[in-house]
Structure 1
Amino acid sequence: MTSCVEVDLVFADVVAEPGSAIRRVLFPVRSIISLTTAIGPHSGLEVGLIGDEGMLGATLLMGVDAAPLHALVQGQGTALSMSRESFLSAAAVGSALHRVLFRYMYVLMQQLAQTAACNRFHVVEARLARWLLMTHDRTHADGLHVTQEFLAWMLGVRRVGVTKAAGALQKRKLIHYARGEITVLDRVGLEAAACTCYAADCATYAAGMH
């Protein structure tokens, strides 16, 4: 896309607020964006992830120019930025980009619904394993910088809950966790530790995007 500009996204930067006008869209390249919803004035919960498989601002395709969710950078790195006008021109009805992004919107809606159910019914350890796998899929790297506080906010639990869950995964030698750095040691084992939602995520993506 010739009208795209490469930008650097910085960890924890807010890139969208609920109700704010969408003036630019972002296509993460080597970055990850978390979609979160507020739970009271001082806490939130992650409901979706956007990596190099998707984009931020896809609701423009439905004629909605206001951001539906709070979005912040979970994994810093590069992204392609495109103005609202350029995007709408490139994604005009009938274009290849329009068709691909409509399929992506289906996948994203399924992810949001799956995450809502996951947060309600599954234990923190299994949810953390799923979150790590989803992040691993998007970063394509075994190492991840994330603070305990940030993880607690993403998962909607207290920091002690994160400590317990991460400690359990580390005890099983699935991850190494120290001073805000998580390293995936055993991908297969982590998949076994995750709740069934991760397999559902993968099936949705395979069906929706291929």
Structure 2
Amino acid sequence: MTNPDKKSEPDENHQYRNQLLRRMSADDLALLEPHMRRCDLPLRMMLVTPNVPIEAVYFIEQGIGSVVARTTSGHEAEVGFIGFEGMTGSSLVMGDDRAAHACFVQLEGQAIRIEAGPFNAVLEASATLRLFLLRFVNSLQTQTGCTALVNARLKLEERLARWLLMCDDRVPGESLAITHEFLAIMLGVRRPGVTVALQLLEGRALIRSRRGEIVIRDRAGLEELANGSYGEAEAEYVRLIGEFGAA
């Protein structure tokens, strides 16, 4: 699907897999490139530490970062989901130097890292870059709102179906390296509940669940099970930035 409202140049920066880098203007990319460094994203690496100055932004090329909220009593749940369609540290785009929630690597991969100082300097030098990246921030806020709604109103198996679809959008192939324990944190539930939900999906031949691995077998069936919870945030990203999907 094409996006007639998109103001950036469509997908011309082919040396990058990150969709923001691919779609930003050539002039804005040229301002960022001297400060870019490729880096690995090992599992559980902290990308943003809550309530401390953001050190760097990461334009994810492969892998997934989770934005996780945590109460003072230690309860955690995922509130944001970032893959190769986006970037971490978006508070800098909005003029702040820190974020309220943590962001860490959920599925390992690689990214383009830019230190916060040079990134802020480029934002000050280019109004078009800030406006373009604010489109991504807007789409991420839509995703967060959808997550709040489904967490409050939907059954666990429906929420799990949505989560797996979001992973499938961002991860090549059909296999996801993820544990029941980590899923429980992401969905904000107890581990036994995740096990039961996975068994339900497996019983319907939607997935195959192994130790530390989930294989998606029927994406259309997952979309049906998600009960309308998947698609709104994705459509908003397409409207604002452009289409994306795992290669």
TM-score class, shorter-chain normalisation, is over 0.9
Give the secondary structure class of the aligned counterpart of 1:198.
Answer: coil
Summarize the Cα distance change of 1:52–1:96 in structure 2 as closer, same or farther, 3 Å threshold.
farther
Pairs within 5 Å for 1:89-168: 89-92=121-124, 94-168=126-200
State the 1:20 CA deviation: 1.2
Q: Deviations over 1:3-39 (max 9, x none)?
A: 2101111112222221011121111100110001014
Give the secondary structure class of the aligned counterpart of 2:93.
Answer: helix
State the 1:140 CA deviation: 2.7
Extract unaligned runs of 5+ from structure 2. 1-32, 243-247
Amino acid at match of 2:155: V
Larger mean CA deviation between 38-47 and 128-137 belongs to 38-47
CA distance in 2, matches of 1:69, 1:136: 24
Extract unaligned runs of 5+ from structure 1. none
Choose 1 or 2 for highest CA Rg: 2
State the 1:190 CA deviation: 1.2
State the 1:95 CA deviation: 4.4
Tell whether 2:95 aligns with 1:63. yes
Amino acid at match of 2:197: A
Aligned length, in residue pairs: 210
- Identify the match of residue 194 of structure 1 among 217, 222, 226: 226
CA distance in 1, matches of 2:115, 2:45: 19
Amino acid at match of 1:108: L
State the 1:72 CA deviation: 1.1
CA distance in 2, matches of 1:93, 1:114: 34
* Aligned equivalent of 2:75: 43
- Structure 2 length-normalised TM: 0.81
Amino acid at match of 1:45: A
* Identity level (%): 38
Is the Cα contact below 8 Å between 1:39 and 1:45 reproduced in 2? no
State the 1:137 CA deviation: 0.7
Is the Cα contact below 8 Å between 1:19 and 1:66 reproduced in 2? yes
- Structure 1 length-normalised TM: 0.94
Summarize the Cα distance change of 1:85–1:179 in structure 2 as closer, same or farther, 3 Å threshold.
same
Tell whether 2:27 aligns with 1:3. no
Q: Deviations over 1:38-91 (max 9, x none)?
A: 145333000010111111111112220012211111110101100112212333
Give the secondary structure class of the aligned counterpart of 1:196.
Answer: coil
Amino acid at match of 2:210: A
